[in-house]
Amino acid sequence: MVYQALRTNSGASHKILNMVRNSQLELSISIPVFNEYADVLNRKKTLEDLHLTKKDIQYFLDFVCLVGFPFDISFLLRPNLKDESDNMFVELAFASNSRFLITSNISDFSKETNLLFDSFQIVTPAQFLTIWRKYHE
């Protein structure tokens, strides 16, 4: 979702990022998730695709540090997802008692797994905005 939010200012992901900026939503963050953001966003291909500089990305990461609510993951909940790096997002959702895990890659969190997440929903940015608008607009 972060990648899409920085890529275009007209999509659901960007709207959600603005909601975080305006304190309408809370952004949960952990050190592993922050490091994943930093790694992905600082890749040469990403910088070229987003038309951003490393300095721009640092400003964004500083913003995440400023507005994010930090959570220490003191357990290893291993959902055993196909992409190992996705496990950290599930761990953070559990640790932060989040109601939603917002991702554009829902299939990465549901296909070929027997896991059911009762404490939070995995939704796309567009699905989240539909749910949010139902209760807040």
Owning domain of residue 74: 2-136
List Cβ neighbours of 121 (8 Å cut-off, separation of 6 or more): 99, 100, 101
Residue with tokens 């608008």: 133
Q: How many CB atoms lie within 10 A of CB 96?
A: 19
CA distances in angstroms from 99 to 48, 117, 119, listed in the order given = 34, 10, 7
Give the pLDDT of residue 48. Answer: 97
pTM: 0.88
Q: Give the residue, 3 or 85, on which the prediction is more confident.
A: 3
Give the pLDDT of residue 110. Answer: 67
- The tally of domains found in the chain comes to 1
Least confident of 4-18, 21-35, 73-87: 73-87
Taking only the tens place, the pLDDT of each residue in 25-82 is 999 999 999 999 999 999 999 999 999 999 999 999 999 999 999 999 876 666 667 7
